[in-house]
Amino acid sequence: MVEWIRWTAPAAVAVTVTAPAHAVQYLSVGAAQKLAFPSAHFVEVQPGRVWKAEASGHVVGYFVFDRVIGKHLYIDYAVALDPGGRIRRVDILQYRESYGDEVRGASWLAQFVGKSSESPLQVGNDIRNISGATLSSHHVTEGVKRIVNFAKSLR
């Protein structure tokens, strides 16, 4: 039969302890570009943010890099679009939670000017997994919608 063990929470649980950051790097921008358009070469349309993918002399799609920033979390992700502006794929490139000091917000354009597809994303790899209160992908999906809208101005 099932036996239970009980732990009484020590009063100290409410005391602040340095919270671990949870950070994962999945893909660099360059690797994500290759996955989205394996045989294309990329031409920057907006430095570090938007590239046109070209193969055999014509446009095969667009690749957009974005970051959604919150108080304690930022997520870098990339959206690959076909020439008609439809989503081909969405990949998360980097995920970083941090509670020690808040993630600093910044104008998204200022963040990325000058970032090339070879720029290393700085966060170290953390192989741990996490289970717990459900994280919503709402902020990323809102970002994807913004990008699809923005893509209309690209063509």
Q: In angstroms, what is the minimal distance from the CB of 57 to other proteins?
A: 27
Length of the chain: 155
Q: In angstroms, what is the minimal distance from the CB of 48 to other proteins?
A: 21
The separation between CA 155 and the C-alpha centre of its own chain, rounded to angstroms, equals 24
Q: In angstroms, what is the minimal distance from the CB of 106 to other proteins?
A: 15
Give the nearer residue to other proteins in terms of CB position, either 38 or 114: 38
Non-local CB neighbours of 70 within 8 Å, separated by 6+ positions: 103, 139
Give the nearer residue to other proteins in terms of CB position, either 39 or 134: 134
Q: In angstroms, what is the minimal distance from the CB of 30 to other proteins?
A: 15
Q: Round to whole Å and give the CA distance between 19 and 54.
A: 45
Q: What does DSSP assign to residue 98?
A: -
Residue 26's nearest CA partner among 124, 132, 134 is 124
Give the nearer residue to other proteins in terms of CB position, either 52 or 82: 82
- Please check whether residue 141 is in contact with residue 76, taking contact to mean a CB–CB distance below 8 angstroms: no
Q: Which amino acid is at 30?
A: G
Q: In angstroms, what is the minimal distance from the CB of 47 to other proteins?
A: 25
Give the nearer residue to other proteins in terms of CB position, either 61 or 143: 143
Residue 67's nearest CA partner among 22, 104, 17 is 104
Give the nearer residue to other proteins in terms of CB position, either 134 or 153: 134
- Contacts with other proteins by CB under 8 A lie at 1-10, 12-13, 17, 19-20, 22, 24, 26-27, 35, 68-73, 75, 77, 90-92, 95, 97, 99, 127-141, 144
